[in-house]
Amino acid sequence: MPSRTEAEALYPSRSGAGAQLGSQLTKRTSPPTIVLGVTPGGVEVAANAAKAMSYSFDVIVAANVRLDELGVIGAIAEDADAVLDPDFQPRFGIMDALEEAIDGARRALKTERLLFRGQRPLRSLEGMNVIVVDGHATSPWKMLAAAEAVRQM
């Protein structure tokens, strides 16, 4: 059996990945369920997963909190508090930069919210099973921030 090369994709496309995810999740979930796509990469995957399962779909807006010298140290989703790496130990001199990074992430949230949902709020999640999907997780923070935002709703 030939081995897969690094450049070879696991799924043919994001929509194909979503359809396959939906077919797997159908066996593990029951209505009422909503599938939330984490912006930007999870939106197409989640939409196709929801379609494959005949479930509702919506977009959950999230943005990384990034410090120039440290990279991604956390994320924010919707209007929830920032979720930061517990190993991140801010020093006194970095607090202003951290506040600026969080403010920058909040500005990015506003832009993406308008882009992906317009003026429409996130659908009500009350009484729903919620599946959160990200299409490109390079760190856990956006996914954790989205899960925390869902938990707070």
The mean pLDDT value for 83-101 works out to 91
| Cross-strand pairs, 72 | 66
Q: What is the pLDDT of residue 72?
A: 95
Cα distance between residue 44 and residue 13, in whole Å: 10
Q: What is the pLDDT of residue 3?
A: 53
| Overall domain count for the chain | 1
The mean pLDDT value for 110-125 works out to 95
Q: Would the pTM count as exceeding 0.85?
A: yes
Two tokens, residue 53: 């399962």
Asked whether residue 4 is domain-assigned, the answer is no
Q: Is the pLDDT of residue 63 over 90?
A: yes
Asked whether residue 9 is domain-assigned, the answer is no
Asked whether residue 83 is domain-assigned, the answer is yes
Asked whether residue 130 is domain-assigned, the answer is yes
The mean pLDDT value for 66-91 works out to 93
Domain that residue 62 falls in: 14-152
Task: Taking each helix axis as running N to C, give the angle between helix 14-25 and helix 42-53, from 0 to 180 degrees, rounded to the nearest 10.
Answer: 40
Asked whether residue 3 is domain-assigned, the answer is no
Asked whether residue 8 is domain-assigned, the answer is no
| Cross-strand pairs, 65 | 74
Kindly report the average pLDDT of the chain as a whole number. 92
| 76 alpha carbon, distance to own chain's centre | 10
DSSP for residue 61: -
Q: What is the pLDDT of residue 89?
A: 86
